[in-house]
Every structure is written in structure tokens, then in C-alpha cells.
A and B are shown apart, each in its own frame.
Chain A
């Protein structure tokens, strides 16, 4: 019987616990540890920040570390940072917004996301705040009018942003084995036909000298597709102007040339026959680093691939390759747009908060950004001929690198000639720094064609494109890898047919209207 009583007690306990759980007030309601300044005088704003898992335990957390403390001491406002995981940033931000928990300042790199937020009414226009309260940023914006079209949605200013340094404007890049060119007595290709020729010779003329025809002309990572398309002045997700009319890149006439080029590469065995399944570019990287490929279509900055190749073959000489000319001319490779981080204002912000935020942003673009990007002078870096040189890379990595995105507006703009000074002093790093500097120069040499600064902010267009993409991919795969099944022209016809079937005509009409309405603001 005693056991029965004990059992009863246990059940009642379980009940009590479950009731407590149901009514539980959590220990925390998400307020960060106020270990930083209790400056009651200064207003407080909340700002989002990407959590990339880079803050070590010794440094603290994304909410509280030496830099957040420094900001709170020196900025005109104290900042509560709301970390958002980089991997699912938009999902998390959306959830916070929907739950009414979004920070005052929400920022992202993706303009399309900002546009969505605007159309969903989650952020507010800020023209009057900048006008009334801003000094430094207002002047900055006047000095950089190229930013305006990007920051404007439906005629109103919705975001602030600073201009990217060229190291983040350049994105795609091509690399070629100079030592192979030298060995085979070839000159650097400058036209598409020369490129094909070089690729063929890389494949058949045994440039690695091992007596086997086991080398590839070209390998690429996910950037490869877009690089090939940009050579022909097109892109699978961009609209181009044709006599004042907007046409979608993937169904333009010249897209057939892209398909023909890709097909030639595949049919002649100049690229990996299994590129379709090499989604994380594992094979491409392997071929490149083991010296089995002559050209890599990737990014302008690829330190790992460079150093691994050098470790395997110290005599290799990868250099940056300038984009080649096609019958349409010479296009630059994909470059990012001018604005770096788009900072937007939550719709719930009141005038007072907005004023504090504007003053904070003014401070940031003025002087706040520098230590956040470079660290403390003579602690983390020293100036060598005016170039900030990292004193101890380990220390920098541990103490400064994670803070770079706190500087949502900044004026950081490294020049290529800085790289050797900024890099580690060992031979391979120095060699790469020079190659990297060269690569950046090459990447910025030619302008990337962009007829309109950003894609139309139209849900119908976005919906069509996301429905069209998988179908287009299938058709392209059939053209390129399907042998005689489908010619490039037949492929383009098929693409156009599918585009129409999914409602392309209507979308084109809407896009044209959107363009005609907005084109004045895009200058």
C-alpha cells in the first residue's frame, strides 16, 4: 500500500511538473547579457548580424565581445546585436519579423530579399530620416550617386548601403596554367576560338609530360556555367535590353551560341564527362590540384586550389586569364553590384529610434568601420607605406576577423598592390598574393554587362523564373550531353516553347511595363 501511495506521489509530481512546464516562464526572454556599457544616456537600437560561428569562446559571443563593447563606448548609440545564422538567414529573419521580434535595423546582401521585405510591408521608407538627421551618410550618398537606383524601390529610399571595395565587386575569375602554355608553345587565348584551340591542345598534347592523354582542357565549379554564359553576354537569370525592350537572357538568340560552345566542349572531351554530377566541384578541384586540368573557371580568389596545386607540383604556374572575346565582343565576368550591405529600417521604428539609428550609421561610415575591419593599429596591424599589414595572422583571425560585418557601412577598399604587403611572408603566400593581385586587376579590367541594375521586383516574374529554371536545366543537359539528340538551336526553340507555356508572354509584358515606369530612376 505504501508503494501505491508512492506511485500516486510520483504521478502527482509528474502532473505538477507538466503544469509547471506549460506555464513555464523561461529564464531568459532573449535579452543579451548587459555586460557592456550601461550608458543610460545613449539611446539603444537593435541590429541583426550574421552568425557564422566564428566567435571563439575566449572572445565571447556575437552579442558580446570586445568589439561590441568598443562600439557601445564609442558610437552615439548602444547596439543590441541580434545574431541570425548565415545558413538560414532569410528564414530566421522572416520568422522574427512575423513574430514581431525583428531588430530595428535589418540587413542583407541580397537586394531581392530587401525588395520582398518592402513589398510585404516589413520595412519602411527612410528618405525623410536621412534628410533630417544624417550628415556623413547624406554626403556619402551624394558623392556616390550610383548607389541610388539600388536603394530605391517604387521611388522611395528603403535602404542605405556603402560602395563595395573592388575585392568584393570582383567575383568570378578564370585561371590558366601558364607553364602548360609555355611548354606547348601556345600564346594566351584572347578569342573564343583560341580558347577552344588551347583547350584541345591541353587535352591531346600531354602538357603534364607523363606520356598519357589524361588531361582536361577546362574544369569548373558552379561558377563555370555563368562564366561561359557571360562570355556570350548572357546569363540565366538576367534581363537584357534589345532596342529598349527587355528580353530574358536564357531565351535570347545568343543563348544558342552558349549551348553550342558547351556542347563542343563536351563532345570533344575537353571537359569532365561527368560534370553534371560533380555538384560540389570535388572532381574539378581534384583534377586541378593534381595537375590534370589546364583551365579553371571559378573565382578570382581561390587560395586553397592554388596552394594545393603548388604543393603537388611546385613548378605549376597558374595565372589569371582575361575573358576572351566572342562575336559579341569582350564581356567582363560576373561582378557584384555597387552596394555592399543593404541596411533597412524595421517598419515599427519610431522617429526617435530612427534618428538614433541614422546617427549610428553616420558614425559607422565615418570612423566606426575601420577598427572593425582592420583591428587596432600596432596591435593587429601596422602601416607599411600606408598599407595595413597584419602583424600576426593567427591573432587577427582569432580577434578581428569575425568583426568585419559589424561594419555594415564601410569605406574599406583594398588595392591589388596591397595584397603582397598584407599577406603572410612565407614564399607560397607571397606568390599567391601576387597572383591574387594580378587576378583582381584582370577581373576588374572589363566591365560586366548589366543592362538593368537589378531584376524586376515582380512576384510573377520570380515565380516564372523559379518554375522555368529546372525545365531549362534539363533541356540544356540534353543539348550538351545528349549527343545528336538535340542541337543547340533546337534546344533554344524548346526553351522558348517552355517559357511561353509557363506564361512567359504575360510576364514579359509586365516586366516591360515595370521597366518603362522605373527606367528614369535607373540612370
Chain B
């Protein structure tokens, strides 16, 4: 056992080991295959695995797929009195209405843009924070800081938004106070179409970055300390250790989280947007969720909002599959 690991070298343990494991398994007698009864062999070999999956599949069928039948109202003119099945079939009418509404493309653009900003600027932050936390020697400090960093995750946007707005007030906010003492004119961030997306992204980061460190720190906890020892003996600086050990060690986690994040590219939180939005910035701040909220408030127009939901899901699904493929072609493990 030990020999195998030592031979592999010090760095990049995670990816290579399982590869070796797969090779080892291939030589194992239990994995021997014979054409014809392959199916039965695999079934009996993995019977406990399949057993474990039975309740899981049952769950997905009953609680995920069964209600999905109701999505069909996107293609109907749903009325309570007709029910899901009795409502009139209208095909793609709602989708057409959606795409023909000129403001829809603006809303779509805003949604995607805000998500892209969040991805580009927000995704690295928990990683950086985790790396910083990982460097802290004093355990108590590390724990305290981590606990404080994720507190905003629990505070609702109604509160956080209000605090953000007052911090950015041109007359009484702290940020502008700092700007003024540096000789810069106060900026009304929240009412500026240029600054609002920045504020939006920063507020998301403020709320979620700390929470995001949890998974990365869990992944870092699983990196063999021996790797660090060996690197130190080789004379590697702390930064080189991070670059060659820690980062590769959490590469798998990063990849997975990135792919999963792609599934959310069509979502922008309703509460956050409603709280931070105002009439001066609707050009950049009106997103799909606020659109649905507005439309949904009138008319109980479930067919329309369901059609929009299906559209969002479809795009998200395509994004997830595509990014998954890209990540895998880069040699990293994807979702599957």
C-alpha cells in the first residue's frame, strides 16, 4: 500500500489515486467479465448498491417526477374550474407571448448578466477566503473567524438590503464618508445604473462568501498532511504549497460547485432583487423573478409563469450539461 503512494510522487494525489485504484480493480477476480451473463453478474455483484438505490429512486419518482406532470399547464390555458386535465390545450401560445414581449429579452439579459458577474467575481471569493483561513495556525482564531464570516447567510435580505442601502447613502453612508475624506464626490450607488450591478454583486458576495468556505474547508481537511510535510522538506514556500497542493486538492470540489452553479444561471433571487431594486435602476435591475412576481400577482396566470419556468429550467439544464462536458474534457471529474 505505502509503496504505491510513495511511487506516485508527492503532488496531485487526488486524481491519480483513483485511477490506480481502477487499474487495481480491473485485475481483481471479482471484476472478471464474461459476455452473456454480464448483466446478471453485475446485478448480483452490486446487489447491495442497487438495494440502496431503491428508496432513492422511489423518492425521485413519487416526489419529483409525479408532480412534474403538472408542468403541462404551460401548454394549456389553465383554469381552476377545468383542472389540469380539463384546461384547453394551446400549444406554444404562452411561449410565443413570452418571446414576443419586448421587455422579456431585457429581463433575460439582466438575469444573465447579474449571474455572470456573480460567477466571475463571486465564485473565487470563497476559495480565496478558505485558503486564507487554512493558513491560520491558531485554531481558535480560525474557528471564530469562520463562524463570523458566514453570519450574513442567515440574515434575510430584507434586513441586509436595508443595511446595505444605508451604508451606501450619499449623505449619511459610511462608504461615501470615506470617499469624501479622500476628496471624492459622493456617489449615489444605489440609483446609478452603472454602479447598481456592482452593488448587487458585492452584496451577494458579502452574504454568501463566508458560507461558501464550508465545503472548501471540508475538502482541504481531507488533503494528506504528509504532502505538506514533504513539500516543506523540499523547501517549497507557503505560496508554492498552496499552488501545488491545496489548490489541486480542492480542484474536484471547485469543478463540481462550478457545474452546479451553472444550473442557477437563470435564477436571480427574488427577495434580494426586490429589496435592492428601485425605479431608477429597473433598466438593469429588473429580472425574471421580479417579472414573475409582478405577473403572478395579477390574474393567477399560472400557465404563463409555468411556461417561463420551463424555459428557465431548460436553459439551466443545457448549461449544466455543457459545462459538465467541458470540465470533463479538461480532465477533471464532472457530475458523472
User: Is A120's CB within 8 Å of the partner chain B?
Assistant: yes
User: Is A37's CB within 8 Å of the partner chain B?
Assistant: no
Contact B297 A473 (CB under 8 A): no
Given known pairs A22-B58, A273-B171, A466-B297, the reply for A120 and B279 (CB within 8 Å) is no
Contact B280 A120 (CB under 8 A): no
| Chain B interface bracket (under 10, 10 to 19, 20 to 34, 35 or more) | 35 or more
Q: How many residues of A contact B (CB 8 A)?
A: 41
Which has the most chain A C-beta neighbours within 10 Å: B81, B170, B297?
B81
In the assembled complex, which residues on chain B have CB atoms less than 8 Å from the CB atom of A312? none
Contact B191 A481 (CB under 8 A): yes
In the assembled complex, which residues on chain B have CB atoms less than 8 Å from the CB atom of A279? 275, 278
Question: B280 is contacted by which of A459, A462, A471, A481 (Cβ under 8 Å)?
Answer: A481
User: Is A33's CB within 8 Å of the partner chain B?
Assistant: no
State the Cβ distance, A373 to closest chain B Cβ, in Å.
30
Contact B295 A282 (CB under 8 A): no
Given known pairs A273-B171, A471-B103, the reply for A282 and B300 (CB within 8 Å) is no
Question: A274 is contacted by which of B162, B171, B283, B286 (Cβ under 8 Å)?
Answer: B171
Bound state CA distance, A22 and B83, in angstroms?
25
Contact B55 A276 (CB under 8 A): no
User: Is B69's CB within 8 Å of the partner chain A?
Assistant: no
Contact A122 B295 (CB under 8 A): no
User: Is B22's CB within 8 Å of the partner chain A?
Assistant: no
State the Cβ distance, B144 to closest chain A Cβ, in Å.
32
In the assembled complex, which residues on chain B have CB atoms less than 8 Å from the CB atom of A98? 80, 83
User: Is A34's CB within 8 Å of the partner chain B?
Assistant: no
Contact B299 A116 (CB under 8 A): yes
Contact A470 B282 (CB under 8 A): yes
- Of the listed stretches A10-18, A60-68, A401-409, name the one at the interface; the rest are far from the partner chain: A10-18
Q: Is the interface of B mostly helix, strand, loop or mixed?
A: helix
User: Is B146's CB within 8 Å of the partner chain A?
Assistant: no
Contact B299 A15 (CB under 8 A): no
In the assembled complex, which residues on chain B have CB atoms less than 8 Å from the CB atom of A347? 81
Bound state CA distance, A462 and B295, in angstroms?
9
In the assembled complex, which residues on chain B have CB atoms less than 8 Å from the CB atom of A459? 299, 301
Given known pairs A15-B54, A121-B82, A122-B81, the reply for A277 and B282 (CB within 8 Å) is no
In the assembled complex, which residues on chain A have CB atoms less than 8 Å from the CB atom of B302? 94
Given known pairs A120-B79, A121-B81, A282-B162, the reply for A276 and B59 (CB within 8 Å) is no
Bound state CA distance, A22 and B79, in angstroms?
30
Identity of the chain A residue whose Cβ is nearest the Cβ of B193 in the assembled complex: A474
Identity of the chain B residue whose Cβ is nearest the Cβ of A472 in the assembled complex: B279
Chain A 449-487 interface 0/1 with B at a Cβ cutoff of 8 Å (1 = within):
000000000010011011101110110111001000000
Contact A466 B294 (CB under 8 A): yes
User: Is B1's CB within 8 Å of the partner chain A?
Assistant: no
User: Is B166's CB within 8 Å of the partner chain A?
Assistant: yes
Given known pairs A459-B299, A462-B299, the reply for A474 and B280 (CB within 8 Å) is yes
Given known pairs A116-B299, A116-B300, A463-B299, the reply for A277 and B55 (CB within 8 Å) is no
Question: B55 is contacted by which of A18, A469, A473, A501 (Cβ under 8 Å)?
Answer: A18
Bound state CA distance, A431 and B102, in angstroms?
55
State the Cβ distance, A481 to closest chain B Cβ, in Å.
7
User: Is A112's CB within 8 Å of the partner chain B?
Assistant: yes
In the assembled complex, which residues on chain B have CB atoms less than 8 Å from the CB atom of A290? none
Question: A11 is contacted by which of B48, B170, B188 (Cβ under 8 Å)?
Answer: B48
Bound state CA distance, A278 and B282, in angstroms?
15
Bound state CA distance, A121 and B80, in angstroms?
7
In the assembled complex, which residues on chain A have CB atoms less than 8 Å from the CB atom of B79? 120-121
Contact A120 B81 (CB under 8 A): yes
Q: Give the residues from 259 to 299 in chain B that come closer than 8 angstroms, CB to CB, to chain A.
A: 275, 278-280, 282-283, 286, 294-295, 297-299
Identity of the chain A residue whose Cβ is nearest the Cβ of B290 in the assembled complex: A470
Bound state CA distance, A463 and B103, in angstroms?
13
Given known pairs A18-B59, A22-B62, A116-B299, the reply for A473 and B282 (CB within 8 Å) is yes
Chain A 181-203 interface 0/1 with B at a Cβ cutoff of 8 Å (1 = within):
00000000000000000000000
Contact B80 A94 (CB under 8 A): yes
Q: List 8 A-B contacts (CB under 8 A).
A: A15-B51, A94-B302, A120-B80, A122-B81, A276-B190, A279-B278, A462-B299, A477-B280
Given contact pairs A22-B62, A282-B166, A467-B101, a sample of 11 additional A-B residue pairs in the complex whose CB atoms are under 8 Å apart: A18-B55, A18-B59, A112-B298, A120-B80, A121-B82, A274-B171, A278-B165, A279-B275, A476-B279, A478-B280, A501-B102
B residues with a Cβ closer than 8 A to A are: 48, 51-52, 54-55, 58-59, 62, 79-83, 101-103, 162, 165-166, 169-171, 188, 190-191, 275, 278-280, 282-283, 286, 294-295, 297-302
User: What 5 A-B pairs have minimum CB-CB distances, sorted nearest first?
Assistant: A121-B81, A18-B55, A473-B279, A477-B279, A462-B298
